[in-house]
Structure 1
Amino acid sequence: MTRPKPKKSIVQMADEVIAGKHGNGHENRRKSLGISASEYAKVRVEVNKRV
C-alpha cells in the first residue's frame, strides 16, 4: 500500500513557487503542486505578500 505524500504547508508551497520549482503560469503551477484552485489561491496570496 502506498502512503500519501505528506501535505505541504502554504508557506512551503509559496517558497517553492518563488524559487521557480513549478514552472510558469498559474494553471501549470497549480497542477505541479497537485492542489485545488482554492488552495492555490492561498499560495498566491502568500507569494504576493512576499514579492
Structure 2
Amino acid sequence: MKKIFFKLLAKLNKLILPSYTKQGLDLSKASKLQLAIFGWKLYVTKNALD
C-alpha cells in the first residue's frame, strides 16, 4: 500500500513540480525553496523504488 501511494505521489510530483536536473540547476546556488523541492522529490522517488 505504501509503495503504491509513493508511486502515485511521484507521478503527481512529475506533473506539478519543476525538474531542476533538466534545467541544470547548480545545487550550491539554489535557494532554500529549490532545495526543499529537490529533497522532497528525492524522498518520494526513493520510497517509490523501495
Q: Which has the larger radius of gyration?
A: 2
Q: Relative CO higher for 1 or 2, CA cutoff 8 Å, sep ≥ 6? A: 2
- State the TM-score bracket (shorter-chain normalisation): 0.3 to 0.5
Q: Which has more helix, going by share of residues?
A: 2
